[in-house]
Structure 1
């Protein structure tokens, strides 16, 4: 192998120039585990009975529901590792709507749709708006959120 050939960075996220409004991207699936739930509520202090007791509350959700914040952060983790690794500069705004509970052992994934891209006046950056729809293993919509992020461009100084 020649040392003069350029080396491509593995795992590099998308620069804003790689995206266009209407573009859709799908994440891998991820199983939500009991360890995810226990670790998350331990770190955040979300020690609500419905999350710490394996018996459902009377009239509550059957199974082991997880906080919506955990669902969102697991999906963001998938996006950080792929779509915006090394190119995501800031999360600027986020709104969420929860449609259905996510339970331990559910397999979740997301479809990201790029809604708008607005280059900034400096630094080769852009503001990228997207809608993220989160589904479970039965392809039921469990969460929708919109995100406004600042992404680096190819000419962004690193």
Structure 2
């Protein structure tokens, strides 16, 4: 893998995997609320969140999902990859102080279309909190 170009299509194979880990902070949640406009009290108001089904504040689901984008854009396939689609299934809440590990694994390579299908997940302490599938476009060495 080069600095300005991630993996080329020809360099990928099924089963390749990469990850990114980040501990979610109070600042992450507040900044994400400001950037996204999602000021749902379950994210930013402890008192209101205590009365929710989660019994306390939780991180935005899309904040958690954004860690998948970090893997795709920087590691696998890396710089130059174009994010085309993403399915998401949220399985458990993420809280302030949780370390989320986003994991991406190559599932299928569609050579003719220069597409790669990847299994995606986020885990906290080895437990899936999010799972899904992404499709990206990847450059070919022949292009």
Which structure 1 residue ranges, 5 or more long, are not aligned? 1-7
The answer for the alignment partner of 2:132 in structure 1 is 145
1:133 maps to which of 121, 128, 132: 121
CA RMSD between the two structures: 1.9
The 8 Å contact of residues 26 and 109 in structure 1, kept in 2 or not, is answered as no
Judging by fraction of residues, say which structure has more helix: 2
Superimposed CA distance per residue, residues 46-96 of structure 1 (whole angstroms, 9 cap, x where no aligned partner):
0111112023242421343011101011231233122233330x2222111
Distance 1:142 1:77, change over 3 A: same
Which structure 2 residue ranges, 5 or more long, are not aligned? none
SS in 2 for 1:75: helix
Distance 1:81 1:47, change over 3 A: same
CA distance in 2 between partners of 1:74 and 1:112 (Å) = 10
The Cα shift of 1:103 comes to: 1.0
Distance 1:78 1:118, change over 3 A: closer
Distance 1:11 1:30, change over 3 A: farther
**Number of equivalenced pairs:** 142
SS in 2 for 1:66: coil
Distance 1:36 1:59, change over 3 A: closer
The 8 Å contact of residues 92 and 148 in structure 1, kept in 2 or not, is answered as yes
The 8 Å contact of residues 115 and 135 in structure 2, kept in 1 or not, is answered as yes
The 8 Å contact of residues 71 and 103 in structure 2, kept in 1 or not, is answered as no
SS in 2 for 1:71: helix
Larger radius of gyration: 1
CA distance in 2 between partners of 1:65 and 1:38 (Å) = 11
The answer for the alignment partner of 1:80 in structure 2 is 73
